[in-house]
Homo-oligomer: A and B are copies of this chain.
Amino acid sequence: MKINGRHYRTIWLNPDGRSVEVIDQSKLPHSFETQTLSSFGDAVEAIKNMIVRGAPLIGVTGAYGLALAVADDPADNAIEAAYAELLGSRPTAVNLRWALDRLRDRLFSTPPPMRRTLAYSEAAAIADDDIQACHAIGEYGAALISAAAPRCPDRPVNILTHCNAGWLAAVDWGTALAPIYKAARAGVAVHVWVDETRPRNQGASLTAFELLGEAIPHTIIADNTGGHLMQHGLVDLCIVGSDRTTRAGDVCNKIGTYLKALAAHDNSVPFYVALPSSTIDWRISDGLREIRIEERDQSEVTHICGRTERGETARVRLTPHGSPARNFGFDVTPARLVSALITERGACAANEAALQSLFPNLANSA
């Protein structure tokens, strides 16, 4: 999608055919910079430090990270070691495991001398497949937005989203934002309420930045605000992404998603979750019991980075010295609060039977 009128993906292979370039998302929205991943270690650090983030993009970066490891050493044990280290770099999103499994399986069925070429082409295929999935999610989701439009004759369709599940979280298009981009291109008037999504503020820093680039009308709100808006009819539908979805339709997503789902349910506002099937963890049913929630460093709560009036980046402490903080990255929204899952094969109810009928092969091979 576009930044200042120029089209970008979040990740691409450099002309040297080896190193990988990513947008440094830790610098947005104040500064647009890219970072070169020249080694396996660079890829692990980029995921851990959230230079790249978002479940689909973590998966693609993991695949390229494994390719970088194979470029150094294509032996089985080197691949296994790199696989294990990448898998541990972020614990919650399941796309990482999905992408690494897909690539490792192909590598192990190929002789070592041919593995480097295969690894890069398979990583590129994973990236392209993600774009195709997001594109399809966009089309199916746009139909849901269009269906809401006739109820809003004198105003845009108001859509609330949480965190960033846009193209910056994927390779292009995004998951939760793809339907919005597609609806806008189809001529539907939309307006997006952007939760700022503490503690890392990915709504304000990434989603708002994306929407500016695509000229989509939007308004930033504190995470506390969505319930009030829904009580007063100011939200027509919610769309969020997912870091992991269980076979029963429970949705693990950025911390705070559950609170918005409760408010949507209490006010009869549709609550949609957009996700590629690579986000579905077919091994588990009960999201609350079975998903390990990442706990990150408390400094993400106690401190924040911003831009001073002089244009400098400054990191400031928000909390009193002596007060500890805790920083859970995700929560689980039970399937009962999800109006529909929007996948690359269409929208379906958030339950096992509906997911199985859309993805019979995946469901049965798990």
**How many identical chains are in the complex?**
2
Which A residues, 272 to 326, have Cβ-Cβ distances below 8 Å to chain B?
288, 293, 301-309, 314-320, 322-326
Tell me if A318 and B228 are in contact (CB < 8 A): no
Tell me if A198 and B212 are in contact (CB < 8 A): no
Tell me if B198 and A224 are in contact (CB < 8 A): yes
A197 within 8 A of B: yes
Tell me if A198 and B227 are in contact (CB < 8 A): no
> Chain A 24-37 against B: per-residue CB contact (8 Å), 1 yes, 0 no?
00000110000000
Tell me if B328 and A317 are in contact (CB < 8 A): no
Nearest CB in chain B to that of A313: its residue: B316
A78 within 8 A of B: no
**Could you say which residues of chain B place their CB within 8 Å of the CB of A221?**
301, 325-328
Tell me if A231 and B332 are in contact (CB < 8 A): yes
Chain A interface mostly: mixed
Given the known inter-chain contacts A262-B263, A293-B228, A331-B227, please indicate yes or no for A198 contacting B220, CB distance below 8 A: no
Given the known inter-chain contacts A228-B255, A325-B220, please indicate yes or no for A209 contacting B262, CB distance below 8 A: no
- What residues of chain A have their CB less than 8 Å away from a CB belonging to chain B? 29-30, 194, 196-199, 201, 204-205, 208-209, 211-212, 218-229, 231-232, 254-256, 258-260, 262-263, 266, 288, 293, 301-309, 314-320, 322-328, 330-332
